[in-house]
Structure 1
Amino acid sequence: MSVNFQDEAEVKQYLDNIGIEYRFGCYSEKKPDVCHLLADYLESIHKDYEKARKVYRSTCDDYGYAKSCLKYGNYTFIGRGKSGSKPNPAEALEYYEKGCKLGDSENCLNAGLLLVSPKMNNRRDFMRGMEYLTKSCDLNNGNACFYLSGLHISGAEGPIASKETQPLISSTESSSPKSSVVKKNDFIVEKNMEKAFTFSYKACELNNMYACANLSQMYARGEGTEKNAEKAEIYKKKAIQLQEDVKNSKQLLFQQTS
């Protein structure tokens, strides 16, 4: 069906028809992907965030649709779509974890970032956060790989939720000089440039421009790998090209919406 997008009435009719199709596909045919599209439609076309929030939640809870878990988690994290609603990181985490268990890398990334964040207060669990970040990276999420590389470049530490939980990387029994000053049961990520290089390399291969810039510096300085001026230049050029690609895509989007 061809639509004259210069005709306001025709465009309105077209959008109304899409809404009818999405409602039928969701409520009558019970298709999770269409329910998610319906929520996107309510969000972007009607700006009805309250209804969109409800559809995202039910699509996650009733159908186990990971993208809807992510969207509902985002809504609760910022307190969107419900009158008087306040940001609720704890509920957001619940839905990010649910989406991560369904194999979605973005949910794993968000769950990991929340759990290592000081904003979680007594719900903070550095070890579990690292596990989610690692799973996200394993699922080829370049942002997660980049974040992990940064943690290994500087080293990091944070609480473990349970005394019975055994850390995967290291604990206060580590030989690290930090061990004597961190709290008991803290989870420690040792500074490790070899691991930082590995994560940076993967993140760069997944087109994370910041990781490519770091990779260039590692090759230039011989940190985590042997010095290699030629490779340093290659990854510097890749980082610059990725940055240009981002600028061009933003300009194109602006032109399309102006």
Structure 2
Amino acid sequence: MNYKQIKQTILVFLMGILFSNLAIAQESTEQKEPSLIELKEACDDKVASACMLLAGRYFKGERITMNIVRAKKYFTEACTLGEKKSCELSKNMDKIMDDTNNRYTKGCEKGIVSDCATMGLLAFRGQMIHRNWKTARVYLTKACDQKDKMSCDLITGLNFVEKSVDACNKGDTKGCNEVGILYIKGDMEAEVNAEEAIKYFTKACDNGNSDGCSFLAKIYIKGIGVRPNIQKASSFFEKVCDRGDAKICMMLGSEYEKGNQLKEDHTKAKELYKKACDLGEKSGCSKYRELGI
């Protein structure tokens, strides 16, 4: 059973529950359609209606992957901020998660291999029920033992994730980057989770791993799950330059010299070209002299 089939099974099962609540969620999304990033920023700023709208997006899977766990999170936040409708909807999310858990747990207990596989996937991804890798391993193993290839593959993936997270927690910055990459590619949740990716890349960057800084810079340049921010991106690239990457020093120097995306600053450009020169980059020496030093 592949992921597409499992997803369809889950959607069919949830349809009755979802339609009973859809009208209320629809009410919260009939107004102007702000972006997901705008909603997250507003919700972080304690705007209850933004949290409500965000929850509705995740609840319906509107231009994003359906995620009941996140819908629960944002309905709860809206409730805390005084949005009364969301209090009941938050409880409904609990019911959906409980019903989903019971449906596939009981099916697996009856020997339905596809239900074991689904339960394992759900516990691994943390979208329709809360993430629990221990639970995921139990159900994926049951399905894998019955020759379910997807479950066997997911166990391999789970082994890698747990190993990388453990390594990161013990100070191995490479492990932090590995987990960050999984989140930014959407391999962990079937969608990009920039918040988690940034957390792991930041841990790597702060502990001296230049690749982690570069990943952060690229996230902010491209606006992957966050609002594009060239200044933030350049600050991370500067860390990479300071740690001895001459090519990054040259790239930043050029940006400051030309003023294409960053504010033109020849003093800053010369400083960066000088760093590149000191690191053995001959073109950096040429550019340094060219700017009149």
TM-score, normalised with respect to structure 2 = 0.41
Larger radius of gyration: 2
Q: Which has the higher contact order (CA 8 A, sep 6+)?
A: 1
TM-score, normalised with respect to structure 1 = 0.46
